[in-house]
Amino acid sequence: MTAPAWLAVTPGEPAGVGPECLVRLADSGATAPLLAVCDPAVLASAATMLGLDIDMVEWSPGLEPRAGQLACYPVPLRAPARPGHLDPANADYVLDTLRQAVHLVRDGHAAALVTGPVHKGVINDAGHHFSGHTEFLADLAEVDRVIMMLATDSLRVALVTTHLPLRQVPDAITTEAVDSAIRITADALQRQFGIAKPRLQVLGLNPHAGEGGHLGHEDDDIIAPVIEACRRDGLDLLGPVPADTAFTPTALEGCDAVLAMYHDQGLPVLKHAGFGRAVNITLGLPFTRVSVDHGTAIDIAGRGIADASSLGHAVEIAARMTRAASQ
């Protein structure tokens, strides 16, 4: 069966910048046919706000993509949406869009999932335990372990732990967690990115990778033995590398990805290097999921100044990964 051309796109939080980014991208011409999974009224309001005339059509199975047209699989809002004003009443709507989009991909109607930003706080305010798409999609797909990787054209950063309070991070740096993160990342780089023998830099957890045990023990006791075991299995790994010098141009030469131990060890560097040009990819899912690098930007939503570049890159990368997977 040939893969469908559609990419299912969730614009995310209806009060955030996701809808306007999607409309702007559709207007400027995305590199793949977009199937928006959301309330069409949200896109229509964003188009009006931007002064754009969008040719939107309701999707049904068998619909053929047409240049300049934005297809929409309708999911009704739970409450009226106002850009810049979060409303917990729409948390279930946001989660519905994700569930429906995953169905479309898993049922073969769309080739991949591209996600706009959701607001984790308001979803939790509504009573859900929600730490991010990454974990939510892993649950939906019934996969025990997935890895978050953010990527620009020249840097990839994967994470051992994701949305976890800093106080809980050291306890989460276990042999199993580091081992699975290394193997899932290396495997994805081979299969989804076509890198025959990927080289990973694995960061330490503590300053100077623990300074021989004087600044923390996890580097020597947990991370180093896992690296050794993975090397014995043929993986090309450097580490534990002190995080402060791991991102110098010299250190990054020949390195296909950096594996950071926690969110704010790796992502500030990545976002400094390419905010707006980066994407967030979930590794280890049974389908392709690519997301924007930014959040809901509630402070600017509805003002027409949101940059849609990251969404454009996410669409492009998702289409590329889909093609690579089908070859």
Ligand X SMILES: NCC(=O)COP(=O)(O)O
Residues in contact with ligand X by the rule CB under 6 A: 132-134, 267, 280, 291
Buried b (16+ CB within 10 A) or exposed e, 47-83: bebbeeebebeebeeeeeeeeeebbbbebebbeebeb
128 is known to lie in a ligand binding site: no
Site map (CB under 6 A) of ligand NAI, residues 130-149, x = contact:
---x----------------
Site map (CB under 6 A) of ligand NAI, residues 160-179, x = contact:
--------------------
* Residue numbers 268-327 binding ligand NAI by CB under 6 A: 280, 291-292, 294-297, 299-300, 306-307
Nearest to 108 by CA among 139, 62, 70, 68: 62
Question: Smallest gap, in angstroms, from Cβ of residue 11 to ligand X?
Answer: 14
Q: Under rule CB under 6 A, how many of the chain's residues touch ligand NAI?
A: 20
Decide if residue 263 touches ligand NAI (CB under 6 A). no
d(CA 134, CA 139): 9
SS3 193: coil
Cβ proximity to ligand X, 224 vs 308, nearer residue? 308
User: Closest residue (Cβ) to ligand X?
Assistant: 132
211 secondary structure, DSSP code: G
List the single partner that 265 binds among ligand NAI, ligand X, none, CB under 5 to 8 Å by kind: none
Nearest to 145 by CA among 180, 113, 170, 169: 180
SS3 19: helix
The number of angstroms, rounded, from the C-alpha of 282 to the middle of its chain's C-alpha atoms is 6
Q: Helix 133-141 and helix 91-106: axis angle, to 10°?
A: 50
Decide if residue 78 touches ligand NAI (CB under 6 A). no
Residues that bind ligand NAI (CB under 6 A): 12, 17, 21, 117-121, 133, 280, 291-292, 294-297, 299-300, 306-307
- Binding positions: 133-134, 163, 208, 263, 271, 280, 289
